[in-house]
Amino acid sequence: MTALADYRDRFETIRFERQDGILEMTVHTDGDSLRWGAAPVQEMQEAFGAVASDVENRVVIFTGTGAEFNGPKGSPETFPGTTARGWEFAHWNTRKLLLNFLDIEAPVICALNGPVWRHCETPLLSDIVIASETAALQDSGHFVNGLVPGDGMHIVLPYVMGPNRARYFMLTGQVIEASEAKDLGLYAEVLPPEQVLPRAWELARELCKQSPLVLRYTKVCFAHAIRQQILAGQGYGVLLEGMAAIDDQHRAGYTLDPRG
């Protein structure tokens, strides 16, 4: 088990604050919107593991900073070169990212402060998603930039969107605006930006009225089915993504990064 003091100041891209058993976990880059990359992915998967091991966390609020939840949009120019060993590193971190997130035995409320341009599967695995009116979704880092969306997107998005809608979203690089995301059932509520985090805290306080075991085991119950799917299919998807990327590296003359 861990305590908040063990991980509060451990990460460069994540801030923590806890009140009355409610942990607010804020991702950022130098105090502004998170810039996606290998280092933040490694920090997030390790942070999720630490949060999951801290029994004092009764509810978790997962949020971002600035105008975007994360970015920038993906492009081939942003992807440095990689090797088979690089993909093994990605295989480890991307598997741990989602599994450690689902290992958090506390309800997770995602307070989306803005657009999610990269890896929207992680916030969409939250138990409740409260989104800003600006919180569009796009998979800008995979298929439309020559990467197989095999590092979890291929499992989580069909699970939350339905298979046909998810395949269209990933194959076209479509932007889904917040209002449509709510209509699709991806967001529970869409609010003006300044109301998102206060609403998340309001919901968290309401959830905390339940007993610790009701909270914990409800979350375990909710996470079980999708966790089994990720265990069964994510590693295979990452390897398919890596094989296609390494082939494309030689064919097209540019190199790709397994981070999507």
Nearest to 253 by CA among 79, 118, 37: 79
Active site positions, annotated: 121
Q: What angle do CA 100, 102, 107 make, to 5 degrees?
A: 125
Q: Does the CA dihedral 26-30-35-37 come out positive or negative? A: negative
Spatial contact of 111 and 196, defined as CB atoms under 8 Å apart: yes
| CB-count exposure of residue 148 (10 Å: 0-12, 13-18, 19+) | buried
Q: Is beta strand 70-71 parallel, antiparallel or unpaired with respect to 34-35? A: parallel
Residue 230, C-beta contacts closer than 8 angstroms, at least 6 positions apart: 95, 98, 99, 102, 152, 155, 156
| CB-count exposure of residue 47 (10 Å: 0-12, 13-18, 19+) | buried
217 token code pair:
């085991």
What does each C-alpha distance from 252 to 73, 78, 127, 249 come to in angstroms?
21, 15, 41, 6
Nearest to 13 by CA among 32, 109, 4: 32
